[in-house]
Amino acid sequence: MASQSIFSKAANFAHKVTIGALVGYTGYAAYHLTGQVLEGAGVGPVGSKGGGEEHPQAGFIATIRKKAQDEYEKYYDIGHREWYDKDDESWKKNLPRPGKDYPTGR
């Protein structure tokens, strides 16, 4: 009986340590995540001028939005077709390049 009591106390202690570590880690993760959310709160939505500093890739994202809008406008145009050709690599010429097609912010 005495040895069972020792094992029981050891198991209770290990359980308390494990639960304490898990609760502590959860609290730390919540604290860290809250700090990150508050830090990112100063940056406004991409493309907006308000809400703090501008997004670091706002120029690139605006370029991608413009390209997507152009492609969407071509979608219902029945006179416009871009056929697939596996050897055609002309699409690489239309890729946006930093500093040339959009501002880098540096």
More confident residue, 48 or 68: 68
Domain containing 70 equals 46-106
Within this chain, do residues 34 and 50 fall inside the same structural domain, yes or no?
no
* Overall number of domains in the chain: 2
The answer, yes or no, to whether residue 52 has pLDDT greater than 60, is no
Within this chain, do residues 18 and 63 fall inside the same structural domain, yes or no?
no
Within this chain, do residues 55 and 35 fall inside the same structural domain, yes or no?
no
Within this chain, do residues 37 and 50 fall inside the same structural domain, yes or no?
no
The answer, yes or no, to whether residue 106 has pLDDT greater than 60, is no
Which tens digit of pLDDT belongs to each residue from 54-68?
777 888 888 899 988
The answer, yes or no, to whether residue 18 has pLDDT greater than 70, is yes
DSSP assignment of the chain: -HHHHHHHHHHHHHHHHHHHHHHHHHHHHHHHHHHHHHHHTTS--TT-S-SSSPPTTHHHHHHHHHHHHHHHHHHT-TT------TT--GGGGGS--BTTTB----
The answer, yes or no, to whether residue 53 has pLDDT greater than 70, is no
Within this chain, do residues 70 and 93 fall inside the same structural domain, yes or no?
yes
Within this chain, do residues 34 and 68 fall inside the same structural domain, yes or no?
no
Within this chain, do residues 94 and 50 fall inside the same structural domain, yes or no?
yes
Contact 96, 61 (CB under 8 A): no
Cα gap 91→82, rounded to integer Å = 11
Within this chain, do residues 52 and 68 fall inside the same structural domain, yes or no?
yes
Cα gap 76→79, rounded to integer Å = 9
What number is the average pLDDT over the span 25-49? 79
Within this chain, do residues 8 and 29 fall inside the same structural domain, yes or no?
yes
What number is the average pLDDT over the span 20-41? 91
Within this chain, do residues 27 and 54 fall inside the same structural domain, yes or no?
no
Within this chain, do residues 59 and 103 fall inside the same structural domain, yes or no?
yes
